[in-house]
Structures are given as structure tokens and as C-alpha cells.
Structure 1
Amino acid sequence: MKKIVLASNNAGKLREFSRLFADLDIEIIPQGQLGVSEAEEPHATFVENALAKARHAARITGLPALADDSGICVHALGGAPGVYSARYAGEPKSDARNNEKLIADLAGQADRRAFYYAALVLVRHADDPQPVIADGFCDGLIVDAPQGDGGFGYDPHFFLPQFGKTVAEITPEEKSLISHRGKALRELIGKLKEHGL
């Protein structure tokens, strides 16, 4: 595999994946450059949605494809927003409205534990019977008042006790070490090396 299509048009994800895959001499190409439309994400789990996105991109391009599905899961809300993290407050997608809804839904709740979760799936071809799957977690607490202006999504409200800061207040380097996506990506690359892919 010298080229992999990324089943995303997110510039931040493209930079992160490209940097880590460069060591393997693999080029990551965003699906938009190859005319691939966004796939449906109808499933109740992150892994199933990531697999659907990867198979969709591989089917259209004929290339191996990598997809991720990620979000935030809050214990007091039974795991919500979960797979609906990006659209928690409805359409159009809005980080500000999603955060407002999350804080409103947690009003009066003492349990503020939450975790970010990412599932990564790589398929060698659209009908790959054994996709390479990796995942990662990042534990934290939800705080009412936003802190910091870095990151995106729920980062200003996601407090990391070990840093005494929210994700929006730590450096990009610190974030890549502890983030759900960073952990999942390192696991995925380890599996690719282990299997000589």
C-alpha cells in the first residue's frame, strides 16, 4: 500500500494522518480529491460507521481506505452524545450549539465523567474480509465554563485532571500524545507493521 484514501475531508485529520503515515512511506489522499462523496453513517456504533465510510471510499476509488468515527461519551447521559457528537444539537453542525446542549443536559448532574473515543478502520479493498481496526480512549470531566481557545468540538469543556487544563488549553503536541485519535492511530500503525502491510 503506497496510497491510502482518507474517508474524510477534514483538514486537521488529513494533517495528523499524513504526518504519522509518512514514516511508512504511505501517501494519504483525502476522498474529496478523488470525487468521493460523504458516506451515510446510519449505525449505532463508531466501528460500524467507520467501516461503512472506509468501504464506501475504497469501492469508489479502488484504493485502500482509512476511516475514523469518533465522539464524546458522557457517563451521566448513558454514553450520549456518542455517534451523534457532531450533530448533537441538530443540523447544521455547530460546535457552539452542541456544547450548549451538552451543558444544559448535564445541569444538576454531579457525575461529570466523560471520555473521547475514536475507532479507526482500514480496508485494503471494498470487500476486505479482515479490516484492520484500532481504537483509543481519552478520559476526562465535563466543565460548565469553556476554557481555552485551542482544539475544536467539545475541547473547551473537556477537562483533563492530569494537566489541570481542558483539551483546548494544552499544546497540539500534548494533545496528540493523550488524544483518543492519536492513541488509535499509533495502535493502527503498530498493527500494519506487525502484519507487514
Structure 2
Amino acid sequence: MSRQLTGRVVIATHNAGKLREMRELLAPFGVEAVSAGELGLPVPAETGHMFAENAGIKAHAAAKATGLPALSDDSGLCVAALDGAPGLFSADWAVGGDFRGAMERVERELQKRGATTPERRRAYFISALVIAWPDGHEELFEGRVHGQVVWPPRGDRGFGYDPMFLPDGRDRTFGETDAQEKHGIDWTAGRDGALSHRARAFVDLAQACLTRA
């Protein structure tokens, strides 16, 4: 049986963009969110081989350090023509936080493989959300959104690889999509009413562990 998440929760991230998105998603539920970065917690080594494993590592480390429930996201861009890269290493490709450089690397690798048509540039974003409690209990939720990578990048909204990702059925990249549209959720439609991978995972999390304020 899923546990209810109430009161204060640690968002196990030092990423300002990810923290902003998580706070927007949690806002309707009356949960007070504080980040690992704000608390000065160290960044644990992400030694997992799956997104869910790395999300769990971060969430359990924050829960153990603070005595509070902790919520962690591990997410990335997986490009089919690059055998799923950058994938787990999406952040590592952005050396020093330079995601423009990371996007340029994705494009260079696609050009090397002759992946210049939309059907050769298929990709998806994935988000694994883990809530961990200090006693070791955890809950896992995952969401994906499929689309293609485009070049040049378009838009200055969002963060990370958003400007080069065009979700299926849309004519604007995530970088051209405002936060309300990207993260807004039609609760009558469930996860189908959410656009982003993180919002889709969050729908399942909310339905299992949260109550609207």
C-alpha cells in the first residue's frame, strides 16, 4: 500500500531548473518543499545502471541525512540513433553545466551517423521519480514522452535539452513551451493529460501518495 506524502519534503536535487519544476507540480498539494542544495547536502555518487536506481540513491541519501521524506528525479534524453545516449549520462554530457555544448554534441554524433531525417532522429525523455522515507520505504513512478530531436535548438524556456526536443503531435519544442503548458495536468485525463515526462510520472505519484490541499 502506498504511503501518503504530507508536510515537508526534501527535493533531492541541486539543479535549479528541476527544483522549479518539482515545486510547480507539488504546489496544489500543500507540501512544503526544500531542496538538497538549500540544505547544503552533498551530491551522492550516482552509481546505478538505470534511471530508477539513480533516483533511489539520491532520495535515500537525502531522507537519511534529514530524517524527512525525500523526492528525487532522475531523467534524461535517449536518442535511438545514438543507441540511447546520452541517456543516464545526459547531465555528464553538459560539461560544467553547458547544455548548449551537450546539444551540439548530440547533433555532431547524429551527423556522423547520417541521422538527418525525422525518422532517424527519434528520441524520448524519461523521468523516474522516487520518494524515500527515513525508514527505507520507497515508491517509484516513471513517465516518458516520445518525439524527435531538431537542429538548431529552438526556444529559451525550460532547461537542459528542452530546446532540441520536439514532442510527438506538437509544433513547438519544449524550449518553446511555457511551464503551464508543459507541466499543467488535466486530472480527468490522468497521465494522458500531461505533456512532459516528469509531469506524467508525477500524475501516478500524486494519485498514489498525495491529497489536494
Q: TM-score, normalised by structure 1?
A: 0.89
Q: State yes or no: 1:142 paired with 2:149.
A: yes
Higher RCO (CA-CA < 8 Å; seq separation 6+): 2
In structure 1, the residue matched to 2:77 is: 72
Q: CA RMSD in A?
A: 1.7
1:159 aligns with 166
Identity of aligned residues (%): 40
1:165 and 1:32, CA in 2 relative to 1: closer, same or farther beyond 3 A?
closer
**1:86 matches 2:103:** no
User: Residue 189 of structure 1: which of 186, 206, 211 is its match?
Assistant: 206
1:96-139, Cα deviation, whole Å (9 max, x unpaired): 110111000001124110000000000122522xx111111111
Gaps of 5+ in 1: none
Query: How many correspondences in the alignment?
Result: 191
Contact kept, 8 Å, 1:136 with 1:181, in 2: the verdict is yes
Decide which of 114, 123, 127 is 1:114's aligned counterpart.
123
Check conservation: 2:11, 2:72, Cα contact below 8 A: yes
Q: Hey, what's the Cα distance between the residues in 2 that align with 1:20 and 1:167?
A: 17
Q: Which runs of 4+ in 1 moved over 3 A?
A: none
Deviations 1:1-24 (A, max 9, x none): 311111013333333323333333
Distance apart, 1:174 and its partner CA: 1.7
Contact 1:132 1:191 in 2 (8 A): no
What does residue 57 of structure 1 align with?
62
Tell me, yes or no, if structure 1 residue 125 matches structure 2 residue 134.
yes
Change (3 A) 1:103 1:65: same
- For the pair 1:180 / 2:189, whether they are aligned, the reply is no
Counterpart code for 1:15: R
The secondary structure found in structure 2 opposite 1:72 is: strand
